[in-house]
Chains A and B, each alone.
Chain A
Amino acid sequence: MAKRIDVSGLTAYYGSHKAIEDISMTVEPRSVTAFIGPSGCGKSTFLRTLNRMHEVTPGGRVEGKVLLDDEDLYGAGVDPVAVRREVGMVFQRPNPFPTMSIFDNVAAGLRLNGDHRKSELNDIVERSLKGANLWNEVKDRLNKPGSGLSGGQQQRLCIARAIAVEPKVLLMDEPCSALDPISTLAIEDLIGELKERFTIVIVTHNMQQAARVSDRTAFFNLAGVGQPGKLIEIDETERIFSNPSVQATEDYISGRFG
Chain B
Amino acid sequence: MDITTPDTQEPHPAPRPPAPGRKHTATRPGDRIFLGLSRGAGILLLVIMAAIAAFLAYRASLAITKDHGNFLTTLEWNTGVTPPVFGIAVLAFGTVVSSVIAMVLAVPVAVAIALFLTHYAPRKVSGPIAYVIDLLAAVPSIVYGLWGALVLVPNLNGLFGWLDTYLGWTGVFSWDGGAPRSMLTVGILLAIMILPIITNVSREVFRQVPRMHEEAALALGATRWEVVRMAVLPFGRSGVVSASMLGLGRALGETMAVATVLSPDFLIHGSLLNPGGGTFAQNIASKFSEASEFGRDALIASGLVLFVITLLVNGAARMIIARRKEYSGANA
Interface residues of chain A, those whose CB is within 8 Å of chain B, are 51, 53, 56, 81-85, 88-89, 91, 93, 95-100, 108-109, 112-113, 145, 147-148, 158, 161-162, 165
Contact = CB atoms under 8 A, between A and B. Distances in A.
B226 A97 contact: no
Contact of A147 (B218, B220, B222, B332): B332
A97 B222 contact: no
Contact of A162 (B210, B220, B230, B324): B220
Given A81-B221, A82-B221, A84-B221, A99 B329 contact: yes
A108 B229 CA distance: 11
Given A97-B231, A100-B234, A147 B331 contact: yes
A188 B210 CA distance: 27
A51 B220 contact: no
Interface in B283-332: 324, 326-329, 331-332
Contacts of B235: 98-99
B223 interface: yes
B220 A161 contact: yes
A112 B328 contact: no
B216 interface: yes
Contact of B222 (A81, A100, A148): A81
Interface string B188-221: 0000000000000000000000101101111111
A97 B218 contact: no
B220 A85 contact: yes
Given A95-B210, A161-B220, 14 more contacts: A51-B219, A53-B215, A81-B221, A88-B219, A91-B219, A98-B331, A99-B324, A100-B327, A108-B230, A109-B221, A145-B331, A147-B332, A148-B326, A165-B221
A145 B220 CA distance: 19
A36 B231 CA distance: 31
Contacts of B237: 99
12 contacts: A56-B218, A81-B221, A82-B221, A84-B221, A95-B213, A95-B216, A97-B213, A97-B231, A99-B237, A109-B220, A147-B331, A158-B216
Contacts of A158: 216
Contacts, number: 81
Count chain B CB atoms within 10 A of each CB in A83, A97, A109, A162 and give the residue with the most: A97
Contact of B220 (A93, A99, A112, A148): A112
A95 B223 CA distance: 18
A88 B218 CA distance: 10
A91 B211 CA distance: 12
Given A99-B235, A100-B327, A108 B218 contact: no
A91 B213 CA distance: 10
A224 to B, nearest CB: 28
Interface in B78-122: none
Q: Which 3 A-B residue pairings sit nearest by Cβ, starting from the closest?
A: A85-B221, A99-B234, A89-B219
